Amino acid sequence: MASNLGAQTTIGGTLKDTKGLPIAGVSIYLKDTYDGATSDSSGKFSFKSLEKGEQLLIATSIGYKPQEIKLTIQDAPFNFDIILKEEINELKAVVITAGSFEASDRKKATVLNSIDIVTTASANGDVTEAIKTLPGAQQVGESEGLFVRGGTAGETKIFIDGNLVNNFFYTSVPNIAQRGRFSPFLFKGTVFSAGGYSALYGQALSSALILESIDLPERSSANLGVSFLNVSGGYQHLAKNKKSSWGVGYGYSNLDLAFRLIKQKQDYFKMIQSHEGDANFRIKTSGSGILKYYGSFSKNGLGFRVNSLDTLNYKDAFELGNFNMYHNLSWRENLNNGWKINLGASFTDNNDDISGSIQNQQNEEVLLSGLEFKNFDLKTNGLFFNAKAVIEKKLQGLSALRFGTEYNRSTDRADFTMYNGQEFPGTIKEDLNSVFAEVDIYVTNNLAAKIGSRMEHSSLLNKYNLAPRLSLAYKVGQQSQASLAYGIFYQNPERRYLPAISDLGFTKATHYIAQYQKVASKTTFRLEGFYKKYEDLIKTAFVNGRELADNNNGFGEAKGVELFWRDKKTIKNFDYWVSYSYLDTKRDFLNYPTAIQPGFAAKHTSSLVMKKFVTGLKTQFNASYNFASGRPYYNIRYDNNANKFSIFDEGKTINYNSLSLSVNYLPNVFNQGANKFTVFVFSVTNVLNTRQEFGYQYSYNGVRKQAVVPPARTFVFLGAFFSFGVDRSHESIDKTLSLRL
């Protein structure tokens, strides 16, 4: 009571940040009392207190580090100038972004998320097809995968929950790009790095696509999908306590009906068919920890014939049967004192049974002299096991240290049978051990560095490599930042060129990247320039008609400039992005006689993606336009006179243009409490029916050539999806789309 008898003391002052600018809305008070005030727009505050003696004055505000000041109150008024330091926080801090596009629902640097992926008209629900609308990736249509900044598809690796995925795509088929096996809605986060990525990832010379799988579903639900290609059904169960969930799904596709309606270039004698099943469980192991399992199997096959280019009036037949099984188990947990642990393991078992033959007009297999090599049988079994541990320790502010180890074991068996029954069995085994460490250093909110290094040992090559990585990011304005990245990347020679004729080493690429970006709440602008140097690329030679790795004398370089602009603001309910890539690249690898612009690299690539939701119609309209300048093509053959590979003919394809449209109709969108949810999807690729060339194919003797074109110029898709128990509109859009088109 005594303290109440004294006179009041006035405590006042001004609050400023480190740049001397006033801060409004700061709470300033005497600890454990009611006495305090809130600073006004000029940073001023003032309050009266009856407290006497030793007190603690505290100033706190969202986004700033709290400040405590000890003071002894007598009767004289106090006047303080208090400076608050900005708190290093994820939202405000600079983000290390050089080279990478993060596409996730996380707070920072969101460029594309999974809904964006499934509503990209040209993507047809395929993850990598949507990524192709971002700068850095090529519009390659004759084979699957991401060709990034002058690199081959084999130089891009895909990771799910940190684990390297083998067989991300369905087995390659001549001149027909295959889809990814994984639905975009399995993932909550997508990071597309076109270069300069973290030391946590290895074995990719050009690019890393890093996918993070979803956690628990929002609710239990059952779903059903029907289209003229496929039927599918599934069930997801969320436990009552919301600590765990499980789910199963099954789908059957048959393209017979679709191909009757949409004429294909190929004549299918074995219709594309697949049985797909998947299962998952997810268990929360603590407030922050989760154990996740995802497993899938697929049994699929196809067989078709096309007119042979090698010999007139005959046909080339191709037949494929595939069985694939994939399991992925991962666990992440936050431990005490800022320690975090991420463990993961995956296992893939992939089996292909491929055969090729020459057939006559009656579709009977025949053996033609000089073309016997076209009749073959190939049975493969690939077992791939991958395990990874990453340990993270949070340091001061946002700084963090990460280190860990990775183990990959692969056993690839390939039994090749020649036309005459002669067998060439072969097994390639590899144990790849890696250790890595990196540190994120936040000097201030405005300046950050990521320094890392990775070391790998390959049992197959019997060699070590050491790859340093470095990125810097500096915030130049409220919403803009500049970044630099440098790194060395190593990769094993591609399996398909093994066994090697002589001892090989790692192939190597060095990346230099400079970037400027400005990210506002609804717009993103990004400008990036890069230089990439390739060394020790694989050169090949032909042995018994097979192209095999011979030495590491290949080399190359790539440089370019890329632009990206996304705007969700200017027009209401309208979202669009534009990307442009300029690429100047040359390389000497495989059987190239000298350094040339490779056939998969276009100089100019550009995409325009647009999305408009019309609320009155409950319909979303999507359109995308993809462009690529013509790509070079070559007829490279062994010149017996010169005893080397030579270019016998070359040319350039026409420019690539493709306009795709899709419409999603959601009759009961946002109907709260609706127990049923329906989506209709209608899409058309290459609406304008433009001729597209993906390259040229030569007969074995180089006499004839023929453009490689898509199986059908235009493809139409119509499907419906029903979900019971929960509003899963977006997943349903995806499920209907994620079929093999």
Footprint on this chain of other proteins (rule: CB under 8 A): 1, 24-25, 27, 29, 31-38, 40-41, 62-63, 89, 91-92, 105, 107, 110, 113, 115, 218-219, 521, 569, 615-616, 618, 669-674, 727, 730
* d(C-alpha 197, C-alpha 381), whole Å: 31
Element (H, E) at 114: helix 114-118
Q: Which tokens belong to 660?
A: 């795709």
In this complex, which beta carbon is closest to other proteins, that of residue 27 or of residue 510?
A: 27
Residues 583 and 150 sit within 8 Å (Cβ to Cβ): yes
In this complex, which beta carbon is closest to other proteins, that of residue 113 or of residue 597?
A: 113
Instruction: State the nearest-atom distance from the C-beta of 190 to other proteins, in Å.
Output: 13
C-alpha closest to that of 135 among 577, 453, 534, 571: 577
Cα–Cα distances in Å, from 282 out to 332, 389, 449? 12, 19, 34
In this complex, which beta carbon is closest to other proteins, that of residue 92 or of residue 637?
A: 92
Q: Which tokens belong to 396?
A: 């001061």
Instruction: State the nearest-atom distance from the C-beta of 181 to other proteins, in Å.
Output: 24
Instruction: State the nearest-atom distance from the C-beta of 482 to other proteins, in Å.
Output: 19
Cα–Cα distances in Å, from 686 out to 227, 468, 712? 20, 43, 10
Strands (E), 443-522: 447-458, 463-475, 480-491, 507-519
In this complex, which beta carbon is closest to other proteins, that of residue 264 or of residue 723?
A: 723
In this complex, which beta carbon is closest to other proteins, that of residue 106 or of residue 496?
A: 106
In this complex, which beta carbon is closest to other proteins, that of residue 107 or of residue 263?
A: 107
Instruction: State the nearest-atom distance from the C-beta of 89 to other proteins, in Å.
Output: 8
Most distant pair of Cα atoms in the chain: their distance: 115
Residue type, 461: L
Instruction: State the nearest-atom distance from the C-beta of 250 to other proteins, in Å.
Output: 24
Residues 585 and 602 sit within 8 Å (Cβ to Cβ): no
In this complex, which beta carbon is closest to other proteins, that of residue 110 or of residue 690?
A: 110
DSSP 679-738: EEEEEEESTT-------EEE-TTSS-EEE---SSS-EEEEEEEEEESS--HHHHHHHHH-
Instruction: State the nearest-atom distance from the C-beta of 110 to other proteins, in Å.
Output: 8
Alpha-helical (H) ranges within 132-189 are: none
Instruction: State the nearest-atom distance from the C-beta of 578 to other proteins, in Å.
Output: 20
Instruction: State the nearest-atom distance from the C-beta of 92 to other proteins, in Å.
Output: 8
Instruction: State the nearest-atom distance from the C-beta of 46 to other proteins, in Å.
Output: 13
In this complex, which beta carbon is closest to other proteins, that of residue 5 or of residue 642?
A: 5
**Residue 269: φ, ψ to 5°:** -100, -15
* d(C-alpha 583, C-alpha 592), whole Å: 19
In this complex, which beta carbon is closest to other proteins, that of residue 149 or of residue 611?
A: 611
Instruction: State the nearest-atom distance from the C-beta of 337 to other proteins, in Å.
Output: 21
In this complex, which beta carbon is closest to other proteins, that of residue 641 or of residue 672?
A: 672
HSE-CB for 45 with a 13 A CA cutoff: 28
Instruction: State the nearest-atom distance from the C-beta of 424 to other proteins, in Å.
Output: 52
In this complex, which beta carbon is closest to other proteins, that of residue 87 or of residue 415?
A: 87
Instruction: State the nearest-atom distance from the C-beta of 591 to other proteins, in Å.
Output: 48
In this complex, which beta carbon is closest to other proteins, that of residue 158 or of residue 669?
A: 669
In this complex, which beta carbon is closest to other proteins, that of residue 51 or of residue 562?
A: 51
Instruction: State the nearest-atom distance from the C-beta of 26 to other proteins, in Å.
Output: 8
Residue with tokens 């239990």: 220
Q: Does 499 sit behind a cis peptide bond, omega within 30 degrees of 0 on the bond before it? A: yes
Residues 47 and 9 sit within 8 Å (Cβ to Cβ): no
Angle at 732 between CA 726 and CA 738, to 5 degrees: 150
Pairing of strands 656-665, 619-628: antiparallel
Instruction: State the nearest-atom distance from the C-beta of 624 to other proteins, in Å.
Output: 18
* d(C-alpha 168, C-alpha 148), whole Å: 17
In this complex, which beta carbon is closest to other proteins, that of residue 367 or of residue 617?
A: 617
* d(C-alpha 208, C-alpha 190), whole Å: 10
Buried (b) or exposed (e) across 692-706, using 16+ Cβ within 10 A?
bbbbbbbbeeeeeee
* d(C-alpha 115, C-alpha 122), whole Å: 14
Listed in sequence order, the residues at least 6 apart from 579 whose beta carbon sits closer than 8 Å to its beta carbon are 133, 134, 135, 562, 563, 564, 565, 606, 607
Residue type, 638: Y
